[in-house]
A and B are shown apart, each in its own frame.
Chain A
Amino acid sequence: MDRSGKEAWKPPRACDDYWSEFRHCKSLKNCFHHYYTYGTSPSCQQWKEDFHNCREWEKHRATESKEALQRSERNRVAEQRKFTPVWELRQSPPRDWHMPLNQEKPQDS
């Protein structure tokens, strides 16, 4: 989980991205779309918290802020992955994706 790679840790998104997601989440249009999809109003507070933690980390390199941000994002990923998939993912793309179309290919080959 810990990267001993060359690049220092930075927030998963640019701080401005958190703010724009927050503004987008709160917008009338998004509230409407959320109601149209889920029948409820969206919960946007987490984006605002993430923005503040991101800025805190940028200014003071606070470990608490870094960890809070990581927790929040890992939670988002977990939310997306919590359903058992219907199919098995591939390790490599289908072999015939790039095969040329053979217009004379017999139907039963």
Chain B
Amino acid sequence: MVQTSQPKQEEEYGYDLFPGRNTGQHKGRSFTESLLTFNHKCQVMLQLATETSPYAKLLLSAMKSSGCKVFKERHFSCEDCDGTVSGGFDADSSQIVLCQNNIHQQSHMNRVVTHELIHAFDHCRAHVDWFNNLKHLACSEIRAANLSGDCSFQTEFSRFNFGLKQHQQACVRGRALRSILAVRKINREEAEKIVDEVFDTCFNDHAPFGRIPHDKKDAGFAGRDYENRGRYYANL
């Protein structure tokens, strides 16, 4: 999920899903409040995700190498969100929003962090026009759904989606479509057309993983390749 901001057009770009954003106020909280709230749980799960998820660790490395080192306090924000949305990337403030009221399991946090980091990574390495170019938005959503584990067999199974042959592709299409429809006022047909146009390119763009990481073992192999990239490209 991606948002960009334009003054007075918050609803048009999905900002209404994140009522805590852009209020112009810094919300203070007492120490006790912080300990016992969703906010604290969110912070703890975020810390664990960045330290133990091989997906997140690879993305953080790749972003650092691309000149976008991620600082938790600056680039992540745990907030309350509307509906069932799990997170978002705010390109305007270069921040990843985590929906503390909708993320309750570590595995879910790991996936959301990975998903949003993929948007941040795209923002860092390419001129992504989040605001005006729906193809760019669609492409990043396809990549995020494909590479974050959002569409892994286990995750889909847990949602009672029991597809098998090429189901990953159907899942990626569906989730990218949903993400676009959630933040932009276009009709389903238009959104489907855009996803179709960019699907082949974006489904096959596996940067920085070099492969679709289906599980932690795949992500581990991808991490190894990433660490080895100097030697690899020097000896091609």
Bits for A11-23, please: 1 = Cβ < 8 Å to B, else 0.
Answer: 1111001001100
Q: In A59-109, which residues have CB < 8 Å from any B CB?
A: 70, 73-74, 77, 80, 83-90, 92-94, 96-101, 103-108
CB distance from A58 to the nearest CB of B (A): 13
A21-B221, A93-B66, A103-B26 known; A86 vs B94 contact (CB < 8 Å): no
Contact of B24 among A80, A94, A107 (CB under 8 A): A107
Asked if B224 is at the interface of the complex by the 8 Å CB criterion, the answer is: yes
> What is the bound-complex CA distance between A37 and B128, given in angstroms?
27
Contact of A39 among B94, B95, B124, B165 (CB under 8 A): B165
Output the least CB separation between B140 and chain A (Å).
Answer: 9
Q: Besides A87-B127, A100-B74, 12 other CB < 8 A contacts?
A: A12-B232, A17-B224, A21-B221, A37-B212, A37-B214, A70-B235, A86-B139, A87-B136, A94-B124, A97-B124, A103-B24, A104-B24
Seen from chain B, the residues whose Cβ lies within 8 Å of a Cβ on chain A are 7-8, 22, 24-26, 66-69, 74, 93-95, 122-129, 135-136, 139, 153, 164-169, 198, 200-202, 204-206, 210, 212, 214-215, 217-218, 221, 224, 228, 231-236
